[in-house]
Amino acid sequence: MYCGIQHTSDIEFRIIKIKNLNDFERLKENLKVLFETENKIATLIQRNGLRFSTNKITADIGEFYAHKLLNEEENMFEVVTQETSSTSECDLIGILKKNSSLKKHFNSKEIKIEVKTRRNQKGVKYLSSLKPEKFDLLCMTDINQDYSLNQIYLITTATAKEFLDIKYSRLIFKEEMAFTSLVKR
């Protein structure tokens, strides 16, 4: 019984504990880098006049991609703006162009856009807390594990309502629901 160690298992436990401590220190260092990087990303996006929170980085990056691509798409919107409050009924507002390819889907010139983002989600994609009565267009933004854009799917309110699981206010997303999709060029 030297130094309070009674069994070989005690030594093994202490070695494992030390390894875990080293892992924990590396984890803390990497989390610090992640935090600093998130703040740099937030600053870059906020410079574009958009709201961004590191607390909901996946959702806000998806919203950023939707905003950017919808504004860049030549035959859709005159302009797409972000709602001023993060608690607004929808995320973005789009003003349709006179000859917009979206006119056949919407009666109004001003379109309320809801953005739902999924990151590296394989298989079934559940879109929770969905309230189709509060938007005209649903953008399902699919991003890769490294936060790069995979694809944005556009879904009408009518389609969202048709496939909505009312009990849970969620949509089980399938690509066939989208009337079109956008990818970063």
Q: Point out the residues of the chain with pLDDT beneath 70.
A: 1-24, 27, 31, 54-55, 185
User: How far apart (Å, rounded) are the C-alpha atoms in residues 104 and 93?
Assistant: 18
State the pLDDT at residue 1.
39
Which residue(s) pair with 139 in the sheet?
115, 154
Residue 45 in tokens:
């996006």
Q: Is 153 exposed, middle or buried (0-12, 13-18, 19+ CB in 10 A)?
A: buried
Pick the closest to residue 137 from 99, 85, 100 (CA basis): 100
Rounded (10°) angle between helices 8-47 and 57-72: 30
50 vs 71: CA distance, rounded Å = 13
For residue range 81-90, list pLDDT tens digits in order: 999 887 888 9
- Residue 117, classed as helix, strand or coil, is strand
CA dihedral 136, 115, 182, 133 (to 10 degrees): -20
Spell out the residues 6+ positions from residue 19 whose beta carbon is closer than 8 angstroms to its own.
none
Which H/E stretch holds residue 127?
strand 125-127
Q: Give the pLDDT confidence score for residue 3 in this predicted structure.
A: 46
pTM for the structure as a whole: 0.75
Helix (H, G, I), strand (E, B) or coil at 64: helix
Q: Which amino acid is at 51?
A: R
Q: Which long-range contacts (CB under 8 A, 24 or more apart) does 22-28 make?
A: none
How many whole angstroms separate alpha carbon 74 and alpha carbon 45?
Answer: 22
